Structure 1
Amino acid sequence: MSILREAMYYEKLEGGKVECRLCPHFCKIKDGKTGTCRQRKNEGGTLYSLNYARVTSPSMDPIEKKPLYHFYPGSWILSLGTTGCNFRCDFCQNFESSQGNAYTSELQPADAVETAKENGSPGISYTYNEPTIWFEFVLETSKLAHEAGLTNVLVTNGYINPEPQAELLPYVDGVNQDIKSIREDFYKERSGGKVGPVLQAAKRYKESTLLEVTNLIIPGYNDSEEDVTDLRDWIAGNLGTDTPVHISAYFPRYRLKAKPTGKKTMERAYDIMKQRMKYVYVGNIITADGANTFCASCGAELVLRHGYGIKVTGLDGNKCSACGALNNILN
């Protein structure tokens, strides 16, 4: 049963319609209908959030699963998700919750914070589906989490408007944002969105918090040398070469039936990224050094990873134990 909570960031229009201003879709929604995300509904000229305090299975996850490799490596974090998404990616790896109607149960913000504390979690991760369209719950919970001395992590597609993002940012401590491609046509055809707002959101996150970027490599769609090079150059030029980048192998999970990404493709993408980026990681497939963190200055091993077995081997805070250089990592 949904807990109706009036939505933030919308305007009432003539004829009983409303315009949602949470994300760049700017959905104009008729009475009785929902927006693209399916979680914001017009009831009698008022926009409501349908997924407020509704969560899919809460769990304690390794922070590396988000993936966040530079945010307290080896820690475990309470992970919460809900249903819905403001994208329609035909390659979605979590479509059961983002595009389906996964079972949810009630968890109020204060209870979420208490659950994190009871489990010894350093914070809360808003993940599995898109936290933007869970805005009211995420904002309230993240405020309470900070009051309790906990951290907040977003795993997001970056499709959020500047004003709500600015309101949320003071309570966000770490972000993993997808940049699915640098190409406008990819976003339009595969996700139902635009690339521009995604890139601008990433720049705003980078200015305010620890940001890591994920790119899912899909054979035949965004895996060419030009695709990877252009994405690398944009990240290096706009987010900085110290931004951790995760390139993940694709496996068919939803409507798109592209072939799984091969090891050679991932190794080539890794090599291209490493030409300019200091921290590059390979996900969903095993490569020689694709999971480990090395000092950007001297190359010494900082964090050794084997699956979710994590060993911090060369860090003194955020400094390399070997050479003393600062690295872009919270530890």
Structure 2
Amino acid sequence: MQQKTSTREDYSKRINIIIEYINNHLTDDIDLETLASIANFSPYHFHRIFKAFLGEPVGAFITRMRVETAARLLRYSDMPVQEIAYKVGYDVPSSLSKVFKQFYEITPIEYKNYKKYTIMKPLKISPDLELKERVVNLEPMQAIYICLFGDYKGNDYCLAWQKLWQYIRTSGKFSEEMKKAYGTVPKSDIIKQMLNECKIAHVGIYHNDPKLTEANKQQSDVCLTLPFKMEPQGEIGAKEIAGGKYAAFLYQGTYERLGEVYDTIFGKYIPDGGYQLDERPVFEMYLNDPECTKPDELQTEIYVPIV
């Protein structure tokens, strides 16, 4: 049993590497043999393992991520179709047009020009929803994370964060870094101080628009940001969250309304603010603890990447 568990954790670690590489290289020509090589899988077994873990072939996963990213940029940015095609890995617009029409039965140009055409679920904009809005330039953030697949509303995020905290508390690397920075202060006090100073932050990265992506294929990364790098272990990956320019929207209230909040951001705040989106994923930062905070006092800051 221990051998089977170790093998699954090892495979999870390597699948994380592949997913992260794909998400960060949509512009590039992604070679399947290269993917197998960077994750140390044999090309012969790579396809089967990837499909077993994610439920779809690697080629289908890459294409879907490219087309969904293109759909978001077409609807919420003023980029020309040619530039969007390049940003998602197609040398010419006709290549994007062909696959886009297979997915949505409309060309990218038609979708961009015909704003009333719906390929996603309708937006639910709340006129009474007030968000605090700011533009920030973030430095890249080091993080450990667990990648989850499935309906955003049904994932067990608490369990994922418990696993990350357990890794933090038992990690020799964490203890070593804390000793360098804080000396002999008790670890519990150090963690509390780092949380207060935002040197450790609870972050959720959402790679898909749930209005476009089937629930069972939605990908989220449950992250803890840290002021230093840590090594991946089993299902726990290590990554850098991209820095750069973001429009940040602070929302106070129950997590149950987050779908509404996103619709209001993308249907009202983004166009009214004249923001131009890019291909980096949206992420959320959770500013207080849901276990000891009333639902209507929870604070979530949503970071939308802009150019």
TM-score (norm 1): 0.22
Higher helix share: 2
Greater length-normalized contact order (CA 8 Å, ≥ 6 residues apart): 2
Higher strand share: 1
